[in-house]
Structure 1
Amino acid sequence: MSGRLADKIAVISGGGTGIGAATARRFAAEGARVVVTGRRREPIESVAADIGGVAVAGDTSETEHATAAVTAALTHFGGVDIVVANAGVGIGGDVLSVRDEDWQQMLDVNVTGAMKLARAALPALIDRGGGAIVNISSVSALSASPARVGYGVSKSALLALTRSMAYDYGRQGIRVNTVCPGWVRTPMADAAMDSLANAKDIDREEAYRRAAAHLPLRRVARPEEIAHCCVFLASDEASFVTGAVLVADGGGEIVGTGTLAFDD
């Protein structure tokens, strides 16, 4: 099969919906064979069926699940070349209000889950002579959001994990990079927009418009647009890129908040 990922074997966590599902479909379209993981069996089995992949249901924070996902890639396809750590959870709260169990869950899923999946896959990647790991972080790793302390901290930690792995395994041909999306139309973002809509007595679409009002592109992303970023970082087109942070946020990070009053 032709494509930028022809004959590559990928493991994608959180692949049932949103960015993960879009990435699984895009990878398959680019020639990859894909193992899709997630907590809910039905969505990942649906995606896997559509792309001729394999679904492995489980909790990304559990060592046994990470091992099972990699084992599935080895058993069904013969190796691992790419890992996309996309599984994530976001729960609101500031330092005074965030529950201990919610704080721990965000760390377990958003950081430890990515580490465990990488740890399970690294021997297989090394056996193949190298490969690519793409971690999905967030612009919340780069700037603060109101009452999102656990999410921001966990996504910031993912950047440090990326840099450490890029340094430690680069000599073995393994590249590790991060994508930091801004607002993307996903179930997680829909829930955030519904919360904003309820607070402001508006509908979801108006909430999305308000969220994008100060972005230079004046819109939020489609999951497929983030999937294209993942394809680039996973492919040979990014063969000299490692330890990098690719920000895909419609230009939000370049906007100076002190000048918003002058924006027409």
Structure 2
Amino acid sequence: MTRFKDKIAVITGGGTGIGAAVARRISAEGGKVALIGRRPDPLKAVAEETGGSIFAADAADTPSMKKAVAAIVEELGGIDILIANAGGHGVGPTISMSDETWEQAVRLNLNTAFVSARETLPQLIERKGNIVVLASIAGLFAGPDAAGYVTMKHACIGLAKSLARDYGRKGVRTNTVCPGWVTTAMADEQMEHLIEKFGLSSVEEAYRLVTKDVPLGRAATAEEVANAVCFLASAEASMINGAILTVDGGAGTVDLPTLAFVE
């Protein structure tokens, strides 16, 4: 497939997990990828695999992203796609959450999407490009003791809707992908907490526990999420703007009050 021939995609958080999977897919389909991240080693590994270019930057920092965008335009020739994938934690109950944890949740999840969108928009308008924001089903529902993460993922969806509304007439589509559990290094860290809490024997057992009520009965792979992201970023989705696509195995369809009837 050559859906991304002659297209240049900026991927924040491009060194690991979903971002790396998207980079591999876009590269395999003829596109060029500009990998944004703060840690050089993961970016180097993905760049070697995809032929992508590394632009070390903090997606939440305006001067850093301005410099990166200018370098991308100079080196690669422009920007057609932004995959706003960078994110992070922000867990803990509201009553005991520190200002620092809250601010980190804002910075890692919302500011990264906002700053990267703002700085790439002039190029995206000029080239009639598009944006895909990676949120989470935590942006649609509330998990326990995760006020920072839940709030910021809801905010990411609001940001994407605003971008879709404001810049659709300028030829820029913006859509959101909301994954459920995905087998990534970040999710593996959360599985370790469950292993300790419930005395489980493995990460795999922890994933089985968190997906026991998911209709498909398992977590997604990063590649499965990348499939959805790349569809929305491609010309195949030319009339899709402001959409929210869940990649959660059907988790969002479950009527929680009826779980008591399940054997």
* TM band (smaller chain): over 0.9
Query: Which of 150, 169, 176 lines up with 1:152 in the alignment?
Result: 150
Conservation of the 8 A alpha-carbon contact between 2:106 and 2:148: yes
Aligned with 2:161: secondary structure? helix
Counterpart of 2:194 in structure 1 is: 196
Secondary structure of 1:170's counterpart equals: helix
Per the TM alignment, residue 263 of structure 1 is displaced from its structure 2 partner at its CA by 2.2
User: CA offsets, 1:27-54, max 9 Å, x none?
Assistant: 1111110000111111012111211111
1:14 to partner: Cα distance: 0.4
Indicate the larger mover: 8-17 or 43-52.
43-52
Alignment of 1:99-248 (within 5 A): 99-128=98-127, 130-202=128-200, 203-248=202-247
CA distance in structure 2 between the partners assigned to 1:217 and 1:54 by the alignment:
36
Residue aligning to 2:10:
11
Contact 1:9 1:73 in 2 (8 A): no
- How many Å apart are 1:171 and its aligned residue? 0.7
Distance apart, 1:71 and its partner CA: 2.0
Tell me the amino acid that sits aligned with residue 159 of structure 1. I
For residues 217 and 148 of structure 1, what CA distance do their matches in structure 2 show? 24
DSSP 3-state at the match of 1:96: helix
Three-state SS of the structure 2 residue aligned to 1:117 is helix
Aligned partners of 1:220 and 1:250 also within 8 Å: yes
Aligned counterparts of 1:70 and 1:27: Cα–Cα separation in 2? 19
2:31: which partner in 1?
32
> What residue in structure 1 maps to residue 49 of structure 2?
50
- Provide, for residues 72-105 of structure 1, a one-character-per-residue CA deviation record: whole Å limited to 9, x for no partner: 3212210100000000011321111211111111
Alpha-carbon separation, structure 1, partners of 2:10 and 2:248: 25
Partner Cα distance (2:69, 2:262) in 1:
49
The CA distance in 2 between the partners of 1:124 and 1:223, in whole Å, is 28
1:7–1:33 Cα contact (<8 Å) kept: yes
Unaligned runs of 5+ in 1: none
Equivalent position amino acid for 1:218 in 2: G
Q: Which structure 2 residues correspond to residues 91-102 of structure 1 after superposition, within 5 A?
A: 91-102=90-101
Distance (Å, rounded) in 2 between the aligned partners of 1:94 and 1:127 = 43
1:262 equivalent to 2:261? Answer: yes
Equivalent pairs counted in the alignment come to: 262
User: Contact 1:39–1:59 (CA<8 Å) still a contact in 2?
Assistant: yes
Identity of aligned residues (%): 47
Q: Distance in 2 between matches of 1:99 and 1:77?
A: 42
Distance in 1 (CA, whole Å) between partners of 2:93 and 2:192 is 20
Equivalent position SS for 1:113: helix
- Contact 1:61–1:108, Cα closer than 8 Å, also in 2: yes
User: Per-residue CA shift, 1:89-134, capped at 9, x if unaligned?
Assistant: 1132111121111111111121111111111111111121x11100
Q: CA RMSD in A?
A: 1.0
Shift of 1:139: 0.4
TM-score (norm 1): 0.97
Q: CA deviation at 1:200?
A: 0.2
Cα distance in 2, alignment partners of residues 85 and 177 from structure 1 = 10
Alpha-carbon distance in 2 for matches of 1:75, 1:34? 14
Deviation at 1:204, TM superposition (A): 1.4
Runs of at least 4 residues off by over 3 Å: none
